[in-house]
Structure formats: C-alpha cells, structure tokens
Amino acid sequence: MESFKKYLAEFIGTFVLVFVACGTAAVLGCADLGGYLLTALSFGLVIVGMAYSIGNVSGCHINPAVSLAMLACGKISLKDFAGYIIAQFAGSTAGAALLMLFAGKESGLGTNALFQGDIWLSLLIEILLTFIFVLVILFVTSKKEHSAVAGIVIGLTLTLVHIIGIHFTGTSVNPARSFGPAIFVGGEALKNVWVFIVAPFVGSLLAAITFRFFGSKKED
C-alpha cells in the first residue's frame, strides 16, 4: 500500500505539472514578456506546491530525470524507480488529455520544439539545463536541515532554467512533461520528442556523477 501511495502521488504531481504549467504556456503563449515569465513562474510554483504537499509521500520527483538521479545515487530502489516512471508518464498523459479538452490541440499544449531545427543544439541546451536543475535538487535534498526550504529552492531553480530555456526549446528538463503533450499534438512535436526524453536523462546522470564526486568525502 505504501508503494501504491507513492506512485499515486507521483501520478498526481505530474498530472498537475502538465495541466497547470503546460496549460499556462498553452493559454498565454510565450510571445510576449508577460506570457514568457508567467509560464516560467508557473512551472516553478507547481513544484513548490507539490513539494510541500506530496513531498512527504513520494519525495515529489514528478520527473523521470530526477528519479533516475535518485536511483543513481542510491536514494530509491529499482522497483520504486520503475513505479515512479510509469506513474509520471501516465500522469503527464492524463494531464495533457484534460488540457486538450479545455485548450484544444491548436494551442500546442506547451509542447517543446527544436532550437532552430537543430537536434544537437537542442540536445545540448536540454542536457545543460537538466544538469543544473537536478544538481541543485541532489544537493539541497542531501541534508535534513535544508528540508524546510528545499521546495522553494527547487521551484525557483526550475523557474530559472525556464527563463533561459523557453527561448531555445520551450524547456523540457523532464521527459514525462514533454511526452504527454507531444502524444496529443503529434506532428513535429511527437517526431522530435525523443530529444526531450534522452537529453534530460543524460543531464540527470551527469548531475548524479557530479554530486557523488563532490559528496563522496562527506558520505565517507
């Protein structure tokens, strides 16, 4: 039952992330400064809200890249990793389905896109942004004394990477967040969604390696 509760929490958290944050991008667009900043802030605020609600249940990963880093650092089991991944992708798909009902496919549902049509540049920016985001998560959650502010720090960091990343790719840093909307929008979004699945996983592993390098002496 405890495992089911954790997976359900991850489903709900990812559902909210896609419906609310991707929904903000879909409804407001990012063509002007207001929509751009509100979209970035929306992603960050969802993380803050979820961190202080479901955080005690599942750790509030709501991101397969975060779960992979936690697995690589020995903070979750392989069984939970698999359960989290399934729940996150399912939550994203459900969130995108409901968003399409309200905003319509033509809104784009907050899908990602290649930067200047270049796969390699898009991979690079997403790897870098995910590395920054996940590294912050690993460090801020590594000490119990940081627990009171961890949700705020992580939310602000996600806002930060969106502020720079929206211009380039729309910012993924989260394979599940990209998958759900792409499934329903189709076309180029679905064709290129692999970039926004692979790159966050690579960035996540690099962050885990870096964290273990810096944290090894303290752990010993």
Domain range list for the chain: 2-219
* Structure confidence at residue 144 (pLDDT): 83
pLDDT, residue 218, reads 47
pTM of the entire predicted model: 0.94
The predicted structure's pLDDT at residue 216 = 55
Rounded to whole angstroms, the Cα distance separating 126 from 115 reads: 10
**Joined tokens for residue 186:** 């189709």
The CATH number of domain 2-219 is 3.90.1150.10: no
Three-state secondary structure readout of 63-91: CHHHHHHHHHCCCCCHHHHHHHHHHHHHH
**pLDDT value for 160:** 97
Angle at alpha carbon of residue 193, lines to 175 and 99, rounded to 5°: 75
pLDDT of 93 reads 98
**DSSP state letters, 134-184:** HHHHHHHTSSGGGHHHHHHHHHHHHHHHHHHHHHHTS--S-HHHHHHHHHH
Q: Looking at residue 78, what is its pLDDT?
A: 96
pLDDT in tens, the chain (220 residues): 888 999 999 999 999 999 999 999 999 999 899 999 999 999 999 999 999 999 999 999 999 999 999 999 999 999 999 999 999 999 999 999 999 999 999 999 999 999 999 999 999 999 999 999 999 999 999 988 888 899 999 999 999 999 999 999 999 999 999 999 999 999 999 999 999 999 999 999 999 999 999 975 544 3
